[in-house]
Chains A and B, each alone.
Chain A
Amino acid sequence: EDQVTQSPEALRLQEGESSSLNCSYTVSGLRGLFWYRQDPGKGPEFLFTLYSAGEEKEKERLKATLTKKESFLHITAPKPEDSATYLCAVQARAGGTSYGKLTFGQGTILTVHP
């Protein structure tokens, strides 16, 4: 069974204080790893897709990296508007898993104080 575990559950930062969120996964052949951002009362918003170990993607203050067992979301000099829940999800390749099925972690709640 595919599993995704995110840590920490919650993270409080001061504005400008860089940090990283962790996503550990076990999957029967990784097709893709995804990062989403979710604001309260809203649906998740896509950030990145990573396909293979060593791959990196960047967007503004965010950088996502991938190894064979985990992914990191690095946040550089965060601002209060970066406060949200960050979700990691995997899509398995093996066993005929459809393209539709993502397995999500429970998320990391990030709060950035001014």
Chain B
Amino acid sequence: GAGVSQTPSNKVTEKGKYVELRCDPISGHTALYWYRQSLGQGPEFLIYFQGTGAADDSGLPNDRFFAVRPEGSVSTLKIQRTERGDSAVYLCASSPAGGPGELFFGEGSRLTVL
């Protein structure tokens, strides 16, 4: 099945370290989204790509967070100087085009910062 693939599924790191989370969207989907979900909460928007460009990065909490999608397919979410409060499940989703409608989510990358 060619769903949204996220790696790693689990990442444990120490406070202050750098982390990269990868998302491989469904083939042909031009829109890609990153959300963050804390325990017992709904997903929280981080950033949205249309093609290679970030169409909306208003949800990134601070300048420690950065995301790229250089070729319009795979995306990487990068977190510098991790803090314990960054611990959460990071969800990636894709859709055929930007617009209200169905988002296809991956299973997420669970990040734990010790």
Nearest residue, chain B, Cβ from A30? B100
How many B residues, CB 8 Å from partner?
30
- A102–B55 alpha-carbon span in the complex (Å): 14
B85 interfacial by beta-carbon distance below 8 Å:
no
**Which A81-108 residues have C-beta < 8 A from chain B?**
87, 89, 91, 97-107
Contact B40 A106 (CB under 8 A): yes
Contact B104 A99 (CB under 8 A): no
Smallest CB separation, A48 vs chain B (Å): 10
* A41-B107, A43-B93, A89-B42 known; A101+B48 contact, CB < 8 A: yes
B31 interfacial by beta-carbon distance below 8 Å:
yes
Contact A32 B100 (CB under 8 A): yes
**Which A24-67 residues have C-beta < 8 A from chain B?**
31-32, 34, 41-46, 49, 51
CB < 8 Å neighbour of B91 from A43, A49, A103: A43
CB-CB under 8 A from A34, the residues of chain B are: 100
Smallest CB separation, B97 vs chain A (Å): 9
- A87–B42 alpha-carbon span in the complex (Å): 7
Contact A43 B107 (CB under 8 A): yes
- A43–B40 alpha-carbon span in the complex (Å): 14
- A15–B6 alpha-carbon span in the complex (Å): 35
Contact A43 B108 (CB under 8 A): yes
B21 interfacial by beta-carbon distance below 8 Å:
no
Nearest residue, chain A, Cβ from B104? A46
CB-CB under 8 A from A103, the residues of chain B are: 45
A-B contact pairs, 10 of them (CB 8 A): A44-B43, A46-B103, A49-B101, A51-B100, A98-B55, A100-B45, A100-B48, A103-B45, A104-B42, A105-B42
A-binding residues in B (CB < 8 A): 4, 31, 33, 40-45, 47-50, 55-56, 58-59, 91, 93, 98-108
**Told that A46-B103, A51-B100, A91-B100 touch, could you supply 9 new A-B pairs with CB distance under 8 A?**
A4-B42, A42-B108, A43-B91, A98-B48, A98-B56, A98-B58, A99-B48, A102-B43, A107-B42
